[in-house]
Structure 1
């Protein structure tokens, strides 16, 4: 039986070419050029959708919504087995999670990229793309949500992070492991997410800013976010979710103005938890009305809060994190 995969390209290193001065021009390769590298089995057909040709740090909510709509258009075809999205690695984890919480379809949706260009002697372009297409064509990835395939491993969109700037092993999921592997064209899935969330975007996605906490930090950046019209603020705190006492006054003022504030942790593993009782602790912040961000990193928390706000849900009536 033929498997039909829609390959949607957005640019990034995976589609880059070297310029005369040795730099990389992102998005220079077409989807047809990329697909031709994969030497796919005869039972897999690939439809190309060249959507964007941008570096990944050009991604924003507008382009993410554009990508979401393109995927939804492809999924209208009941003969489509799965979707593969090629993407730059620098913001890949954010786009993958955005798609994970805004798309609801049992068919596999895979996001991939590469750390090195096609011209590089140790390029990972053909292997990552081929493995992603094989994964998207495999029934074992149904109802798994959006996944990231990279360096023969399958990752959950919720927890995947870019962990190395250039190494081929560029992504990982600290504390949770990967969902499965692709080894010699065999797709093996060992675990699946037990809880999935989906939000319907009903309004323009609002501004949500991330503010990192560090010793001696004050409320300057919180005040700036408020002044720029942020409807939400993600605090990346320390440990169990602590901030400096010098930040608390600005946090309280933001809360008083109806801005949603979420506290996350900069630690790679573990959760925000109200363990201490002092000014700026997770307990103190929670008592003031700050939402505890459990085990979300700040980038994923920002995506979730922004999408949730655009869906129109009343955050006080629903546990969000």
Structure 2
């Protein structure tokens, strides 16, 4: 695996081909003395001015288009023609091999080599690039391509990257979680200072929970899952900003936890690092779709400033623990959302099919229709572990308040406290891979293993923590 350092000399092409530019575009850049990473100003014959960081082209083509990264973080292609002027406003700050440090919490970092961060691709919108020759969006998960698209990450860390697999996140299964766990563990053992997992957003919270439980006994570095709500071919793409924030988190954050790093608000100002067992995608398309539920985010990240602000006092410290891996997930677990009129046959069918665990997403404090109690009790008597969570998401189940809840407790249902339904599902899948009997499974489900249970709720946890003081 070749480590790509800050700077782009390695991308210079022979002859008239310059960083993927040819023809008129290459001639104008050479005459201006411009290099990738320089801040340039393009003035077109009609007086229109574009200013930003010169980026490399993703393909060699005769089309006279120059790619610049604007101050808002978006990349655009500017067509140049006769009469177009290009001038260098500011030369880039780093050459190949230079150590460019990023301050953390307004403190000067120690001198020395940059952290090593590995970006592991598993699919999703984040792992894509725009092909400026064709306008298509294609997979982009080599270190070279990532540094072309988001050169800022090369100033933070020495980047390596690779693809474990490339699938839509709705196609993730427990066996995929196991492969990700094994690969992350291997990379940590190889000495990386942080791992970024590029992942589709739709089921990213499931994978984050799986990693959280697999590493709950020992994790020495941060593992940051990151995705994009909008692809690289859209002006409002959040891919570059999110990746920048995730790399900063993996390289510099003081905590060693599994987190999801995504936009904290709709603009490009800050991202949030959410604990992997307390995060949920709460909107289909907004850039700030991810939210911590019944908990505060661990940190607020300003990638453009290289700054991380901790929002909680309790966290696992970077470098304190040795790596301990407990991999393995049972795929004979079901997550069922209760609805009015739900038939007992659904529970009975799962038992007949050999399922070992069921997580119910009940109403309110943790209820289902009373006609389901008998079938649930039969499932428990057959050795199936049944856990109750709430469709409300915020708050916790309390099955002692109403008679229906007390009947479910008497039938052997385990209250899931304030665990999110999908987190309880992942946890039960993990627990049943190692519990010897239902009683041990119950003990583990009631134990706070990876921050999935918050014993105390405060006002600012609902409906959403205040973004600004």
The answer to whether the superposition gives a TM-score over 0.5 is yes
Deviations 1:192-249 (A, max 9, x none): 55699x87246x6241001111222221321222232210001111111011012112
SS in 1 for 2:341: coil
Larger C-alpha radius of gyration, 1 or 2?
2
Aligned to 2:20: none
Structure 2: which 5+ residue stretches go unaligned?
1-111, 264-270, 318-323, 447-469
Q: How does 1:195-206 map to 2 (within 5 A)?
A: 200-201=326-327, 205-206=330-331
**Is this contact kept in 1: 2:174–2:331, CA < 8 A?**
no
Aligned to 1:77: 190
Q: Is 1:7 aligned to 2:119, yes or no? A: yes
Q: Is 1:137 aligned to 2:255, yes or no? A: no
Tell me the matched-pair count. 310
Aligned to 1:89: 201
**Is this contact kept in 2: 1:10–1:53, CA < 8 A?**
yes
Query: What's the TM-score once normalised by structure 1's chain length?
Result: 0.89
- Given candidates 353, 359, 373, the residue that maps to 1:228 is 353
Q: How does 1:172-191 map to 2 (within 5 A)?
A: 172-183=291-302, 184-191=305-312
Q: Closer, same or farther in 2 for the Cα pair 1:92/1:98, shift >3 Å?
A: same
Structure richer in helix, relative to its length: 1
Structure 1: which 5+ residue stretches go unaligned?
none
Q: Is 1:253 aligned to 2:378, yes or no? A: yes
Take 2:178 and 2:259, find their aligned partners in 1: how far apart are those partners? 18
- Given candidates 341, 344, 363, the residue that maps to 1:219 is 344
Q: Which moved more, 1:220-229 or 1:92-101?
A: 220-229
Aligned to 2:140: 29
Deviations 1:41-82 (A, max 9, x none): 53510111211111001110111101111101101123x111
Q: Is 1:243 aligned to 2:368, yes or no? A: yes
Q: Is 1:156 aligned to 2:270, yes or no? A: no
Aligned to 1:169: 288
Q: Closer, same or farther in 2 for the Cα pair 1:66/1:35, shift >3 Å?
A: farther
Q: Which moved more, 1:108-117 or 1:215-224?
A: 215-224
Take 2:431 and 2:375, find their aligned partners in 1: how far apart are those partners? 24
Aligned to 1:308: 431
The Cα shift of 1:286 comes to 1.2
Query: What's the TM-score once normalised by structure 2's chain length?
Result: 0.62
**Is this contact kept in 2: 1:7–1:48, CA < 8 A?**
yes
The Cα shift of 1:315 comes to 4.4
Take 2:348 and 2:204, find their aligned partners in 1: how far apart are those partners? 29
Comparing both chains, which one has the higher relative contact order based on Cα–Cα distances under 8 Å and sequence gaps of 6 or more? 1
Take 1:111 and 1:192, find their aligned partners in 2: how far apart are those partners? 22
SS in 2 for 1:141: coil
SS in 2 for 1:263: strand
The Cα shift of 1:270 comes to 1.1
The Cα shift of 1:127 comes to 0.5
State the superposition RMSD in angstroms: 2.4
Q: Which moved more, 1:309-318 or 1:177-186?
A: 309-318
